[in-house]
Structure formats: C-alpha cells, structure tokens
Amino acid sequence: MNDEKVMEHLLGIESEAGELLRDAEKEAGRRVNEAETQCRAEYEKTYAEEAAKTEAIYKEDEVKIRANYDTELQAFTDQIKSLPVHREAFNKLLDSYLFGGA
C-alpha cells in the first residue's frame, strides 16, 4: 500500500511538472509574440521615417538636377544659335561628297 502512495505522489508531481511546463511554454509564446509585435512596429516606424527622408532627399536632388539641366540646355542652345551659319560652304562640301566635287 505504501508503494501505491509513492506512485500516486510521483504521478501527481509529474502531472504538476507537466502543467508547469505547459504554462511556461504558453508564457514563452506570449512573450515571443509580444516582442515580435513590438519589433515589427518599431521596424515599420523606422522604415517609414527613413523612406520619408530618402524621398525628401530625392525630391530635393531632382529639383536641383532639373534646374541645372534647364540652365545647361539653355546655355547650349544659346551657344548653338550664336554660331554663324555657312550655308554656301556646307552646300559645297555636300556636293563634293555626293557628286564628287561637281
């Protein structure tokens, strides 16, 4: 009879240990989920902030580049327009290439 009490006591301890283990697993899962949620929120916040900064820098650079492009294009256009046109010399050169100097 004493052996039965010892076995029941050991089974009770094993049952309590299993219950403690299940509780610990639940708590660990809860903590992991909580940490994951917190990390994801922090990541998304940081990502959004960095994306906004990068977008702002891009737009600033785009405005500067477009202004520089317009300035350089206008300078080039003005330079081309200021060059003299030598139609007679061009026509002679064209004739020599096409018609062998006719």
Q: Are 101 and 95 in contact (CB under 8 A)?
A: yes
Sign of the four-CA dihedral 57, 63, 69, 75: negative
Amino acid at site 21: L
Domain parsing of the chain, residue ranges: 2-99
Per-residue pLDDT of the chain (102 residues; tens, 9 = 90+): 688 888 889 889 999 999 999 999 999 999 999 999 999 999 999 999 999 999 999 999 999 999 999 999 999 999 999 999 889 999 999 889 888 855
pLDDT of residue 34: 97
Q: The pTM is what? A: 0.53
